[in-house]
Structure 1
Amino acid sequence: MKEDSDLSTRNRIMQMLKTSGELTAKELTDQLGITGMAVRRHISNLERDDLIESTTVRLPMGRPAAVYRLTARADDYFPKKYHAVALDLLTELEDEAGEAMVNLLFERRKASLLKRYESKMAGKELEAKIAALSDIQNDNGYMATWEKTSEDDYVLTEFNCPISQVANKYNQACACEMKLFESLLGAKVTRSDCLASGDRKCVYHIRRT
């Protein structure tokens, strides 16, 4: 129960800073109705996690005080509806120009990603390429892992899909991702599990060609 209470207070502090911009520890304490020591503990943990930062300012009365604000990283903790905007735009494009134009858009995205990441694969053997691809996917929020299953076979697993809402409606997204992997790795890639199809993860089987 204490962990739930701590998490709730932590979230309330972040919400308060989101709406107020900047607050001192005393202002947080007064609004939360808890002890100053408890507030300072939460502030310390939030600073440790790079979710808030502080600057010292002079107040009209009394000694200078630290005021706290959210960091850029904290922005990820607030709700986003990017997938809804993307789906609306893709639906409008499909209605106006047809499915072929949507397919072309996904192909262009694949080409753009290939251009962005192919330098990370240059001069690497297949196993090093798979490790680099896993790092790329992790940076993009896919929670990826990989393993070698035999001399010429590997498995790349993704436990999260940041574009799942789009992929659920447009399977071109999944098809283009698999083609992208083949181009980056220079290997044969097949998929046995897919989050967009209701599986718990995406599983890619990679075979040396």
Structure 2
Amino acid sequence: MINNFADNERAVWILKTMGPQPLNIIAAEMKITTEGARFQLLKLANEGLVQATTESKGRGRPQQIWALTDAGNARFPDKHEELTLKLLHSMREALGADAVKCILDANEKSGINKYKEDLKGLTDLESRIKVLTDIRNKEGYMAEYIKEGNDFLLIENHCPIHAAAKCCTRFCQSELDTFIAVLGKNVSVTRTEHIMAGARRCAYKISQGE
């Protein structure tokens, strides 16, 4: 997917999806030389999009680790952020907190029904996770999943509703409740990383019960 981006945009994408990385890893992901990768990263640093820190691990030369700045993360903006916040504040003022909760609960129920329809007919857990990941990707969450032994890790590298979720934590709870509801009975879903708690991404451990 990242092959369609210009080199500097590919570097931003890599750091967003993989987190802070050393130069050699970035170069390998970009499929260019380390000098070429360094050139692109320095350009991005001049634009304020990335920054490097130095880490020492045991003996040997200290290693530079590159990461996105707040401005770099802002290249993946919230969808309709300003309108969403205005609507939330207006609903609270006009209808009260209880009414807002009812509206969000109804939205969650609608989302669950839609996801269940999309996952209809899929019986094994990995197939359901794969389709759910594809849906979340289309919705802007930059989602992926990996298998860890008998368990799975569903990762969302971006939160396209970050401002709304920061304003109203019900969105985050709704996300967890939705995953639990659509992945089926005897499936355990636990949030292990949370952007709102300061993590780089949101991640969910998914386990098949007995």
TM-score range, shorter chain: 0.5 to 0.7
1:178–1:81 CA distance, 2 compared to 1 (3 A): closer
Partner of 1:193: 193
Aligned pairs (5 A) from 1:30-45: none
Q: 1:167 aligns with which of 141, 158, 165?
A: 165
The CA deviation at 1:83 is 1.2
The residue type equivalent to 1:140 in the other structure is: E
1:86 aligns with 84
The residue correspondences of 1:2-41 to structure 2 (distance < 5 A) are: none
Tell me, yes or no, if the aligned pair for 1:144 and 1:158 is still in contact at 8 Å: yes
Matched AA of 2:194: C
Aligned residue for 2:87, secondary structure, equals: helix
Structure 1 residue runs without a partner (length 5+): 8-76
2: CA distance, partners of 1:159 / 1:117? 20
Aligned to 2:127: 128
Amino acid in structure 2 at the alignment position of 1:134: T
Alignment deviations for residues 26-81 of structure 1 (CA, whole Å, 9 cap, x no partner): xxxxxxxxxxxxxxxxxxxxxxxxxxxxxxxxxxxxxxxxxxxxxxxxxxx9x987
Q: Partners in 2 of 1:129 and 1:183 — Cα distance?
A: 12
How well do the aligned residues superpose, as a CA RMSD in angstroms?
A: 2.4
TM-score relative to the length of structure 1: 0.59
* SS in structure 1 at match of 2:204: strand
Secondary structure of 1:200's aligned partner: coil
* 1:141 lines up with 2:157 in the alignment: no
Q: In the alignment, which residue of structure 2 is the partner of 1:150?
A: 149
Alpha-carbon distance in structure 2 between the residues aligned to 1:80 and 1:200: 15
SS in 1 for 2:120: coil
Match of 1:11 in 2: none
Amino acid paired to 1:103: K
Q: Which runs of 4+ in 1 moved over 3 A?
A: none
Deviations 1:58-107 (A, max 9, x none): xxxxxxxxxxxxxxxxxxx9x98721111111111112222222221221
Query: Which residue does 2:175 correspond to in 1?
Result: 177
Equivalent residues of 1:168, 1:197 under 8 A apart:
no
Unaligned runs of 5+ in 2: 1-5, 10-74
TM-score by length of 2: 0.59
* C-alpha distance in structure 2 between counterparts of 1:106 and 1:80, whole Å: 18
User: Secondary structure of 2:144's partner?
Assistant: strand
- Higher radius of gyration, 1 or 2: 1
Change (3 A) 1:100 1:126: same
